[in-house]
Structure 1
Amino acid sequence: MKKILGILVIAFLGGALSLAGYKLFFEETQVVVQESTPSLQTVKANYVSPILANSSAPTDFTKAAESSVNAVVHVKNTAIRTQQNPWLEHFFGRGSGTRKYEQIGTGSGVIISPDGYIVTNNHVIDGASEIEITLNNRKKLKAELIGSSKDNDIALLKVDTDEDLPFLPFANSDFVKIGEWVLAVGNPYNLTSTVTAGIVSAKGRDLDGNSNTESFIQTDAAVNPGNSGGALVNTRGELIGINTAITSKTGSFIGYSFAVPSNIAKKIIDDLLEFGKVQEALIGFIPYVDKEGEIEGVKIESIDRESEASKAGLREGDIITKVNNIKISKFSDLKGQLTAKRPGDVIDVTIDREGEELVKTVKLIKKVVMPTSKVLGTQFKNLSKEEMKKLGVKGGAKITNSWNPYFEDYNGLKEYILIKINGKDVMSAEHAVELLDQSGNRRYIFEMITPEGKKEMFRY
């Protein structure tokens, strides 16, 4: 028995030594590495939507969309157009080649009051003989044009209804932030109640080809033909702009759209209701044209020494950097602020004068539009009572500017006074434009008084 136990012990020890030798000399050492996924850092953005404050939930557009779609309407305009065929006129007589037909245009509009006032774009209803709007509940109503501004592309409509209509409140567009979520609501391609989302891409945009320098809100929310006149709203369902234009080579949305800021739209609407036309306000200076874009702000090139701006302390060479504490980086920013103001309003203007920051309080003046003849390419102004008494005339129109190459040899006839057109007395600047542009003539005999006080005749 002892012999058997001895053999087992020797066998066990031999196996153990063999295994240890194999481990030591033949098997490679294995290293186990434990991998762990690193935690991601969360960076809080500067702008937080009021709806998202104190919340980790994704952006919810449902409330803003629900209130907006009910306040945005479909606008249909019907215009009567005349088409002439000169060949039929030639062979069958006058009137034979004339054909009248209806032209239909569509767009969007925004209800801004429960009693039926609607804002839209001027180009949506321009030339319309009949305007029909369709509510989100499919109800159709006839609309009346209250007034419009072609330069700002804003029009105001009114519908009569016995019920209070859903409407959108105006927000202060000065407080809109770049990167803020927005919704575009309208009727593209006659698809009613369409909502798209995006962010504010830029502010103070001045579009090339726009006749009036504007201060558009730029967004990447999809806007297509038919959206014009629709609403641009924030996540609270407040109106911050009227969708107006897109930049596109195809006619459809390719990335950016533009809206008239709500502050400008509201001011134009108030003017149309109170005065029947837009009251344009100016500071009263000629800006420096910064072609290189080197100036942060708007530089004053020249200023009338007797103007309100000069009396307030503004000087040539000053750079306007803020209006009522709103930053002014370029002329379109300043234009946007002034378009939202009225003549007589008082504003605080922050200027940079040779490195020193100053604040001046300026009273805005009214922009005076000189009567201009499209036919003659000439701008006129009325004579003062003193001028009429000195010259012994009862009326007349003084030429202030001319773009007519025919008059270049006479320095554009500036300061010449037009007193007769084809034998008819000119009573005022407006009368001169009326006689020139509505007479249908293309041959004129002008009687004028030169700056030296001599009477001369011109044939044109």
Structure 2
Amino acid sequence: MRPATTLLALTAAAAFGGFAATAVNELLDNRAQAASAAVAPAPAASTTLPAAVAGALPAAVDGQPLPSLAPMLQRAMPAVVSVHTQQRVRVRNPFFDDPFFRRMFPQVPQERINESLGSGVIIDAQRGYVLTNHHVIEGADDVSVSLADGRTLKAEFLGSDRDTDVALIRIPAENLTELPLADSGRLQVGDYVVAIGNPFGLSQTVTSGIVSAVGRSGIRGLGYQNFIQTDASINPGNSGGALVNLRGELVGINTASLNPQGSMAGNIGLGLAIPTNLARDVVQQLVTTGEVRRGTLGVETQALDARLARSLGLEEGQQGALVARVYEGSGAAAAGLRAGDVIVEAGGQRIGNPLALHNYEGLQPVGAKVPLQVLRDGRTVALTATLREQPRSLDGGGVDPRLAGAKLAELPEAQRQQRGRGVLVESVASGSRAAANGLRAGDIITATTAGAVEDLPGLRASLAQPPRQLVLLIVRGNVQGRLPMQ
């Protein structure tokens, strides 16, 4: 009878354990949903859970104290803050245009307040510098920071870089704790790391894991990429928080979690963080100039397919970025790069395609000297190019008179990751020639009569000899069309 009794007891215990786990998961899901809604009401009733009974662990084993992260976290956690933003959004309601409606219903709100929560890291206690993500504070009218000691302070915006998702704000406070910045270039796969932040609007939360990969790129829609990948849980609200090593040094800024099923599906151990070496360079430029200037080789490249590889006498499966054009006066031209060269390595990093080269360029400062390995006439050639400044915007009239009144800009990297190439029409002056020709702000120029448009230098180079008839291939919303320019 004893074996049967034992089996029944184990079966009952397993059934109860499954029920308890289900109850706990449902409760946490409800709390997460409530935390993510800015004005969600508190639940009317709470679920009562049975108290868990756990045996106490000994303080030491064989005379050695048990390892713990607590001493390090006591030093690091006060430097991680909660970032709260508010954005005023005007409510568009056609009834507001009616004076009678406004007189009858004067209390109807004509704007709403969007609120969001994220995290940040104090990196300079004396100056009050707080590092966070661009997407945490993007479009915010008011930004406030809550410290671990309970103080809440209004923050001053110093600058941000959309393409690397880094932002810098400042708080006027004393007795702050900062995190020292480590050399993220020394991180190796397998190193232990700890993520600190405020997920789902909860107070400070710590998760731990290892470095799963370094130099992660090729992820659509995330701008310039050189991410640290970790299996430490990173959830909504962790954005802008700290990824630290076991010495309590900042190695990364948590920015995203890869989950194809959405954030409420649970953590699947694919978190991304911006390495501190990259963030340090961005912060230095934001503090000194208020903006980020990037270097470029000055080449137009295309993917190397099997047909092109055969025509160049390359081995089947050879990867790289095929140089289609070298812009006059560029760093690439000065280095001796030619059309037909295949760039296979830049700065010691393997280049498998044009996107990899573009991503590498975008992470380098103006004036950087970049060693290149290129394939030319069946042999490998070593070159060194000095990157020159990448133009941020152009006056359309300076490119072609038919574009006068349009301000042209590079595509934000998130859009470039999705669309691949093109030039953004940032604004169009009312009554200008560009406006009369039908060009609108937000249009993306992907080609002209003179050929495909890769970026601003490519557009300018292709229209160096203005065509008699200029037709633009543009994308407006999700519609592609042709626009003749008179």
Question: 1:154 & 1:210 partners in 2: Cα distance?
Answer: 15
Superposition deviation, residue 159 in structure 1: 0.7
- In structure 1, the residue matched to 2:132 is 120
1:321 aligns with 2:349: no
Question: 1:203 & 1:150 partners in 2: Cα distance?
Answer: 21
Superposition deviation, residue 102 in structure 1: 2.2
1:271 aligns with 2:270: no
| TM-score normalized by the length of structure 2 | 0.62
Identical residues among aligned pairs (%): 32
1:199 aligns with 2:206: no
Superimposed CA distance per residue, residues 287-314 of structure 1 (whole angstroms, 9 cap, x where no aligned partner)? 3325799445544443236422232133
Question: 1:261 & 1:156 partners in 2: Cα distance?
Answer: 15
- In structure 2, the residue matched to 1:362 is 385
Question: 1:322 & 1:364 partners in 2: Cα distance?
Answer: 12
- In structure 1, the residue matched to 2:78 is 70
Amino acid at match of 2:119: S
What does residue range 29-178 of structure 1 map to in structure 2 within 5 Å? 61-87=69-95, 89=97, 92-93=100-101, 99-115=110-126, 116-163=128-175, 165-178=176-189
- In structure 2, the residue matched to 1:236 is 247
Give the one of 302, 327, 350 matched to 1:304. Answer: 327
Amino acid at match of 2:83: V
> For the structure 1 residues 334 and 256, does the alpha-carbon distance in structure 2 shift closer, same or farther, using more than 3 Å as the test?
same
Superposition deviation, residue 194 in structure 1: 1.3
> For the structure 1 residues 205 and 343, does the alpha-carbon distance in structure 2 shift closer, same or farther, using more than 3 Å as the test?
same
- In structure 2, the residue matched to 1:382 is 398
What does residue range 322-361 of structure 1 map to in structure 2 within 5 Å? 322-323=346-347, 325-326=348-349, 328=351, 334-335=357-358, 337-353=360-376, 356-361=379-384
Aligned partner of residue 221 in structure 2, secondary structure: coil
* Contact 1:267/1:341, CA 8 A, preserved across alignment: no
Superposition deviation, residue 234 in structure 1: 2.2
Superposition deviation, residue 250 in structure 1: 2.9
Question: 1:57 & 1:302 partners in 2: Cα distance?
Answer: 64
* Contact 1:197/1:221, CA 8 A, preserved across alignment: yes
Coordinate RMSD, CA, aligned: 4.3
- In structure 2, the residue matched to 1:50 is none
Amino acid at match of 2:233: A
Superposition deviation, residue 104 in structure 1: 1.6
Question: 1:359 & 1:236 partners in 2: Cα distance?
Answer: 40
Question: 1:454 & 1:311 partners in 2: Cα distance?
Answer: 33
Aligned partner of residue 199 in structure 1, secondary structure: strand
Amino acid at match of 1:152: T
Superposition deviation, residue 151 in structure 1: 2.2
Aligned partner of residue 84 in structure 1, secondary structure: coil
Q: Which runs of 5+ in 1 are unaligned?
A: 1-55, 373-379, 404-419, 439-449
Point out the more displaced range, 208-217 or 121-130.
208-217
Question: 1:171 & 1:399 partners in 2: Cα distance?
Answer: 40
Question: 1:264 & 1:173 partners in 2: Cα distance?
Answer: 9
Superposition deviation, residue 62 in structure 1: 4.0
* Contact 1:241/1:260, CA 8 A, preserved across alignment: yes
Question: 1:63 & 1:329 partners in 2: Cα distance?
Answer: 44
Superposition deviation, residue 357 in structure 1: 4.8
Question: 2:290 & 2:436 partners in 1: Cα distance?
Answer: 24
> For the structure 1 residues 314 and 180, does the alpha-carbon distance in structure 2 shift closer, same or farther, using more than 3 Å as the test?
farther
Superposition deviation, residue 246 in structure 1: 1.2
> For the structure 1 residues 70 and 367, does the alpha-carbon distance in structure 2 shift closer, same or farther, using more than 3 Å as the test?
same
Superimposed CA distance per residue, residues 131-150 of structure 1 (whole angstroms, 9 cap, x where no aligned partner)? 11111222222110111122
Aligned partner of residue 81 in structure 1, secondary structure: strand
- In structure 2, the residue matched to 1:29 is none
Superimposed CA distance per residue, residues 339-382 of structure 1 (whole angstroms, 9 cap, x where no aligned partner)? 4421122233344556755442211111113448xxxxxxx262
> For the structure 1 residues 196 and 356, does the alpha-carbon distance in structure 2 shift closer, same or farther, using more than 3 Å as the test?
farther
Amino acid at match of 1:85: N
Aligned partner of residue 236 in structure 1, secondary structure: coil
- In structure 1, the residue matched to 2:232 is 221
Superposition deviation, residue 68 in structure 1: 2.7
Superposition deviation, residue 436 in structure 1: 5.8
Question: 1:221 & 1:322 partners in 2: Cα distance?
Answer: 31
Amino acid at match of 2:91: Q
Amino acid at match of 1:348: P
- In structure 1, the residue matched to 2:256 is 245
> For the structure 1 residues 257 and 139, does the alpha-carbon distance in structure 2 shift closer, same or farther, using more than 3 Å as the test?
same
| TM-score normalized by the length of structure 1 | 0.65
Superposition deviation, residue 157 in structure 1: 0.2
> For the structure 1 residues 137 and 353, does the alpha-carbon distance in structure 2 shift closer, same or farther, using more than 3 Å as the test?
farther
Question: 1:196 & 1:327 partners in 2: Cα distance?
Answer: 33
Question: 1:320 & 1:58 partners in 2: Cα distance?
Answer: 49
- In structure 1, the residue matched to 2:447 is none
* Contact 1:214/1:332, CA 8 A, preserved across alignment: no
> For the structure 1 residues 195 and 213, does the alpha-carbon distance in structure 2 shift closer, same or farther, using more than 3 Å as the test?
same
Question: 2:287 & 2:317 partners in 1: Cα distance?
Answer: 41
Superimposed CA distance per residue, residues 50-103 of structure 1 (whole angstroms, 9 cap, x where no aligned partner)? xxxxxx999754454333312111111122222233346458346966522322
* Contact 1:204/1:333, CA 8 A, preserved across alignment: no
Aligned partner of residue 274 in structure 1, secondary structure: helix
Amino acid at match of 2:86: T
Aligned partner of residue 277 in structure 2, secondary structure: helix
* Contact 1:72/1:136, CA 8 A, preserved across alignment: yes
Superposition deviation, residue 208 in structure 1: 4.4
Point out the more displaced range, 352-361 or 268-277.
352-361
